[in-house]
Amino acid sequence: MSELHARHRAVLPEWLALYYQDPIEITHGEGRHVWDADGNRYLDFFGGILTTMTAHALPEVTKAVSEQAGRIIHSSTLYLNRPMVELAERIAGLSGIPDARVFFTTSGTEANDTALLLATAYRGSQQILAMRNSYHGRSFSTVSITGNRGWSPTGLSPLQTLYVHGAVRNRGPYAGLTDERYIEACVEDLEDLLGHVRTPAALIAEPIQGVGGFTAPPDGLYAAFREVLDRHGILWISDEVQTGWGRTGEHFWGWQAHAQNGPPDILTFAKGIGNGMSIGGVVARADIMNCLDANSLSTFGGSPVTMAAGLANLSYLLEHDLQGNARRVGGLLIERLRAIGARVDSVREVRGRGLMIGIELTEPGTADAAPGKVAAVLEAAREGGLLIGKGGGHNTSVLRIAPPLSLTVAEAEEGAAILEQALRAL
């Protein structure tokens, strides 16, 4: 065990997980690569859990952070903050939500926590609809709406949560149906559920589930849900912490794959917008955002430095069409990985969109999760010079691949080749 690993274990919680049997210390990065303390270079296909969205050490972002830090680092939301206003203006315009208001937080957990506060206050209900296999954060309220047993350490909750079917296409009682019939069955299930309970405040859903293993319903499911929700006066919260900012390639926001009935009532975001700086936030219609009848503020949300980073990062993303790059390079990478997976018995499915790709591993010929195989591939990929993630609601059965959106075709091929070796070693 390394000296730093021993110190980590001596002072930090046991539940603070570390990847790899011999955990690595990442010391610096550039572009799509990072280096560890031993000088090993890795191609980064996980970006600090989908957070390094554009590139490591992006000059435009580091310059903006340095210049703002040289002026003032902190003031709180009690004072006017030009970078915060400017970033809020841009996000409000990009959100698709009419008459939008933006509140900045320091994380996706806090963003979802705020969305739950708004929804329950606005509708006067403590009931929340959430998706099975979902993950929405680590706070007391967000854990209580997380439908993934591996990330829910307590059954206690400030909310009454009702779990809806539909976010995991290839498992469960409807898996064998066509997409059209699958959506119909999920809608019927939702209608039946609502006939037995008091009216919930909101449905919160990830358009593509992140920690759950990059699972997604057929396009249009949430639009069909929205028709039901609107009839019952239930809000729709789209958790875009992992799917936002063009990562899926086809759309800027994940909700746009279900856009027949317009944007969600509330949208949450985080991770990629700061490219590593701590930014989260909530976008909502003015009547929803302004419904709170008590004072509130944020000491650290919307800090001048993080807002400067967000502005520079968003500008770079849009000016260099990284959404288009995610669509093009991600499409090539998915097809390459599917071709590899077709020759590996343990690969049940390669799924995803853009640069958000999951490889589900099972025991050959079954749907039984294979967490040991996932761990083995994670280690083998690292030995080959590639960092990836893992997840999944069935005993961590999915390899998660989410590189920075500036990934090149050559880097995609390099990463696929390393993954092929790691998978074939099974």
Q: What is the pLDDT of residue 259?
A: 87
- Domain of 31, CATH number, reads 3.90.1150.10
Q: What is the pLDDT of residue 393?
A: 83
Q: Are both 243 and 346 inside the same structural domain?
A: no
Task: Tell me how far apart the alpha carbons of residues 30 and 4 are, in angstroms, rounded to a whole number.
Answer: 23
SS3 370: coil
State the pairing for strand pair 127-131/202-205: parallel
Q: Are both 334 and 202 inside the same structural domain?
A: no
Q: Are both 66 and 114 inside the same structural domain?
A: yes
Helices marked H in 27-106: 47-50, 59-71, 82-95
Q: What is the pLDDT of residue 426?
A: 87
Which position has the token pair 């746009």? 256
- Domain of 205, CATH number, reads 3.40.640.10
Q: Are both 307 and 335 inside the same structural domain?
A: no
Strand order in the sheet with 386-387: 26-30, 33-36, 41-44, 386-387
Q: What is the pLDDT of residue 261?
A: 85
Q: What is the pLDDT of residue 296?
A: 93
Q: Are both 299 and 346 inside the same structural domain?
A: no
Answer yes or no: are the C-beta atoms of 334 and 412 closer than 8 Å.
Answer: no
Q: Are both 133 and 236 inside the same structural domain?
A: yes
Q: Along the chain (426 residues), what's the average pLDDT of each consecutive run of 10 residues?
A: 93 95 97 98 98 98 98 97 98 98 98 98 98 96 94 91 96 95 98 96 98 96 97 98 98 95 96 97 98 95 98 98 98 98 97 98 93 97 98 89 98 98 95
Q: Are both 189 and 137 inside the same structural domain?
A: yes
Last residue of a domain, one of 286, 319, 352: 319
Which position has the token pair 């059209």? 180
User: What range defines the domain where residue 353 resides?
Assistant: 3-57+321-424
Strand order in the sheet with 398-401: 347-353, 356-361, 398-401, 389-391
Which helix (H) or strand (E) element contains residue 187? helix 179-194
Number of structural domains, the chain?
Answer: 2
Q: Which amino acid would we find at residue 73?
A: I
DSSP characters for 193-243? HHTSSPPPSEEEE-SSBTTTTSB-PPTTHHHHHHHHHHHHT-EEEEE-TTT
Q: Are both 43 and 71 inside the same structural domain?
A: no
Answer yes or no: are the C-beta atoms of 254 and 208 closer than 8 Å.
Answer: yes
Q: Are both 147 and 206 inside the same structural domain?
A: yes
pTM above 0.85, yes or no: yes
Q: Are both 37 and 70 inside the same structural domain?
A: no
Last residue of a domain, one of 257, 291, 319: 319
Q: What is the pLDDT of residue 343?
A: 96
- CB within 8 Å of 380: residues ≥ 6 apart: 421, 422, 425
Q: What is the pLDDT of residue 75?
A: 96
- CB within 8 Å of 325: residues ≥ 6 apart: 405, 406, 407
- For the record, the structure tokens of 406 come out as 């500036």
Answer yes or no: are the C-beta atoms of 243 and 271 closer than 8 Å.
Answer: no
Q: What is the pLDDT of residue 155?
A: 86
Last residue of a domain, one of 319, 345, 370: 319
Q: What is the pLDDT of residue 395?
A: 75
Q: Are both 325 and 315 inside the same structural domain?
A: no
Q: Are both 172 and 304 inside the same structural domain?
A: yes
Q: What is the pLDDT of residue 91?
A: 98
